């Protein structure tokens, strides 16, 4: 509803100063309102051109849109009232207001002076600054661009479907059922190959194998391969691992049997038996580790009940928290493995003092568990590994023993065997571990260049893994296997005299050996 006093105010009068310049004198509040409106219109025109340039809108479309805007023709009336001075200027008459295009009536521009041509003002976009708000402007291209930007910048997560949780629960249940069936299928295949532990123990072994496989996949050499593997969910990764393990095990069982041997002559048979007897005599296996006597077994129970400090050998020592790691079902830590390795090194340095019957300890050197982490993460130079052999000649040893930790979830044993010219890796999970051979070869070359000032000669050297390496049937005995691998290699044994069923006895033997700080010979 319009008031009768709302009428256009006279335009500001121009006055000429003494210097010849022209200034505007505002005689009323209405003149000030008109000046502000004029400035706002100019700013709107500039913003419209900037937005057109920003979003790549042709000037023709914007000019065509602005050319159709209604023009405001001010009234010739120059009456003024206090009520009109207190409010912004509006249309001069109801008839003019009815002819304007709703819903955006154009503002009243300043009345042109006597000597100025009449200007036709256009209404600019009502958006005063760049924004992605849901607005409506005179520029359709700008509206579409702003709406597109608003959709792309939307950070509020979309509302979940009402059955999303139920659907997810059904998927999880189906995956769990499928994984359980695959585990049972793989368990039956492994049983046909000689696996003897129960199903719950087998599940722990598979979980550890899956974690190891996932840690190796994160070290992919290709960025594309890394992205593809890391986008997969853990459930998909586990399922794929189980399927691959089943295919691999079934392929092993489906291999053709070796051909039946032909019937040789009696002389050939006798020669083979003589050769076999000679080889068995030279490479005779030691008997399985003996079970502890009742007195020694009672001492083990007492050590497990002891609190605080347990034992010390050279620079290594263990506490009650460390010795508890040798209980069944526990993982071994660095303290236990390094203590056992120090005893192996001490036996080698002491000569043949603690040697077993029919075997001689080699001249070996033992690197602690921290050697491999330094070599793998920092390298030879940054890890300052040259200082580790500052007081001894590494290349004069028969063998170098190295415990290897993989992704903090698995222990294996490695050895640099100078007598047999080979780099050896012993893994209770029957993996080749190519990264072990690669890093140890690089270390040998850098160590030889540092100490001997020449590259290492790898002529005749080979990477060695044994097909007769004992394998674990659970996910926690790898540390015990590693210690026994190192102890056997230090005696020059090519074959191991233990397997999974001997591990409980070996754990108690290790407790006795650590508590008494000496290796047993029986």
Task: Give the model confidence (pLDDT) of 402-452 as tens digits.
Answer: 999 998 999 999 999 999 999 999 999 988 889 999 999 999 999 999 999
Residue 221 Cα distances to 216, 226, 315, 475, angstroms = 11, 8, 40, 28
Mean pLDDT of the chain: 77
pLDDT confidence of residue 237: 62
Q: What does the block give as tokens for 306?
A: 């002891």
Question: Is the pLDDT assigned to residue 91 strictly greater than 50?
Answer: no
pLDDT confidence of residue 64: 44
Task: Give buried/exposed letters for 422-439 (b at 16+ CB in 10 A, else e).
Answer: bbbbbbbbebebeebbeb
pLDDT confidence of residue 367: 96
Q: What does the block give as tokens for 138?
A: 């005179």
415 compared with 52, residue with greater pLDDT: 415
pLDDT confidence of residue 285: 66
Mean pLDDT of 133-152: 71
Mean pLDDT of 210-223: 68
Mean pLDDT of 104-124: 48
Nearest Cα neighbor of 124 from 135, 113, 111 is: 135
Of 90-94, 144-148, 204-208, the poorest mean pLDDT is in 90-94
Question: Is the pLDDT assigned to residue 458 strictly greater than 80?
Answer: yes
Q: Is 494 helix (H, G, I), strand (E, B) or coil?
A: coil
Cα-to-chain-centroid distance, residue 204: 23
pLDDT band for position 511 (cuts 50, 70, 90): very high
pLDDT confidence of residue 217: 64
What span, in angstroms and rounded, lies between the C-alpha atoms of 419 and 442? 19
H/E stretch holding 422: strand 422-426
- CATH number assigned to the domain with residue range 291-516, chosen from the 4 options 3.40.395.10, 3.40.50.1820, 3.40.50.720, 3.30.70.580: 3.40.395.10
For the stretch 475-506, pLDDT in tens is: 999 999 999 999 999 998 878 989 999 999 99
Question: Is the pLDDT assigned to residue 79 strictly greater than 50?
Answer: no
Question: Is the pLDDT assigned to residue 279 strictly greater than 80?
Answer: no
pLDDT confidence of residue 252: 66
The most confident of the ranges 127-141, 171-185, 324-338, 356-370 is 324-338
**Helix, strand, coil tally for the chain in percent (to 5):** 50, 10, 40
CB 9, CB 78: distance < 8 Å: yes
- Sign for the CA dihedral angle at 325, 328, 332, 337 comes to positive
* Backbone region of residue 314 per phi and psi (left: phi > 0; alpha: psi in -120 to 50; beta: other values): left
Mean pLDDT of 89-116: 46
Of 70-74, 279-283, 316-320, 439-443, the poorest mean pLDDT is in 70-74
15 compared with 505, residue with greater pLDDT: 505
Question: Is the pLDDT assigned to residue 53 strictly greater than 70?
Answer: yes
Question: Is the pLDDT assigned to residue 220 strictly greater than 70?
Answer: no
Q: What does the block give as tokens for 361?
A: 């300890």
H/E stretch holding 202: helix 199-217
Q: What are phi and psi of 47, to 5 degrees?
A: -65, -40
pLDDT confidence of residue 470: 93
pLDDT band for position 259 (cuts 50, 70, 90): low
pLDDT confidence of residue 97: 40
pLDDT band for position 33 (cuts 50, 70, 90): confident
What span, in angstroms and rounded, lies between the C-alpha atoms of 471 and 193? 12
For the stretch 327-352, pLDDT in tens is: 999 999 999 999 999 999 999 988 75
Mean pLDDT of 52-76: 51
pTM of the model: 0.61
Residue boundaries of the structural domains of the chain: 13-152, 169-250, 291-516
CB 451, CB 395: distance < 8 Å: yes
For the stretch 265-276, pLDDT in tens is: 676 777 777 777
148 compared with 306, residue with greater pLDDT: 306
pLDDT band for position 183 (cuts 50, 70, 90): confident
Question: Is the pLDDT assigned to residue 27 strictly greater than 70?
Answer: no
């Amino acid at each position: 509803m319009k008031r009768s006093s709302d009428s256009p105010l006279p335009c500001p009068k121009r006055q000429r100063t003494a210097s010849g310049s022209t200034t505007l004198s505002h005689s009323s509040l209405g003149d000030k309102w008109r000046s502000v409106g004029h400035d706002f219109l100019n700013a709107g025109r500039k913003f419209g051109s900037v937005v057109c340039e920003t979003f790549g809108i042709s000037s023709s479309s914007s000019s065509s849109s602005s050319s159709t805007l209604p023009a405001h023709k001010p009234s010739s009336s120059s009456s003024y009232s206090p009520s009109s001075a207190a409010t912004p200027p509006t249309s001069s008459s109801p008839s003019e207001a009815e002819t304007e295009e709703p819903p955006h009536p154009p503002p009243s521009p300043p009345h042109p002076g006597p000597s100025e041509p009449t200007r036709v003002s256009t209404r600019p976009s009502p958006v005063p600054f760049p924004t992605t708000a849901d607005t409506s402007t005179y520029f359709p291209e700008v509206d579409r661009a702003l709406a597109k930007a608003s959709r792309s910048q939307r950070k509020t997560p979309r509302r979940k479907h009402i059955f999303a949780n139920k659907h997810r629960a059904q998927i999880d249940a189906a995956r769990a059922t499928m994984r359980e069936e695959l585990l049972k299928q793989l368990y039956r295949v492994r049983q046909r190959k000689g696996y003897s532990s129960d199903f719950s123990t087998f599940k722990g072994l598979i979980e550890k194998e899956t974690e190891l496989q996932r840690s190796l996949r994160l070290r992919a050499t290709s960025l594309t391969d890394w992205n593809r593997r890391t986008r997969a969910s853990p459930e998909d990764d586990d399922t794929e691992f189980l399927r691959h393990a089943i295919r691999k095990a079934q392929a092993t069982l489906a291999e053709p049997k070796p051909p039946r041997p032909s019937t040789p002559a009696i002389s050939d048979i006798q020669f083979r038996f003589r050769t076999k007897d000679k080889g068995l005599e030279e490479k005779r296996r030691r008997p399985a580790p003996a079970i502890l006597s009742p007195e020694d077994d009672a001492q083990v129970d007492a050590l497990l009940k002891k609190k605080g400090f347990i034992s010390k050998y050279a620079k290594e020592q263990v506490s009650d928290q460390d010795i508890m790691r040798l209980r069944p079902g526990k993982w071994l830590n660095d303290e236990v493995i390094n203590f056992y390795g120090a005893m192996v090194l001490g036996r080698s340095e002491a000569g043949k003092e603690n040697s077993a019957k029919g075997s001689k300890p080699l001249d070996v050197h033992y690197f602690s568990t921290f050697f491999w982490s330094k070599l793998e993460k920092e390298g030879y130079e940054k890890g300052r590994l040259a200082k580790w052999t500052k007081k001894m000649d590494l290349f004069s040893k028969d063998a170098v023993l190295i415990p290897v930790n993989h992704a903090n979830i698995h222990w294996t044993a490695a050895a640099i065997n100078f007598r047999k010219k080979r780099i050896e890796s012993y893994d209770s999970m029957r993996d080749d571990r190519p990264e072990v051979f690669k890093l140890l070869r690089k270390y040998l070359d850098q160590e030889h260049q540092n100490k001997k000032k020449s590259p290492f000669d790898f002529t005749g050297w080979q990477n060695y893994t044994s097909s007769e390496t004992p394998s674990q049937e659970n996910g926690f005995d790898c540390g015990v296997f590693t210690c026994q691998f190192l102890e056997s290699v230090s005696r020059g044994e090519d074959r191991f005299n233990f397997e999974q069923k001997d591990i409980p006895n070996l754990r108690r033997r290790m407790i006795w050996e650590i508590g008494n700080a000496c290796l047993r010979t029986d």
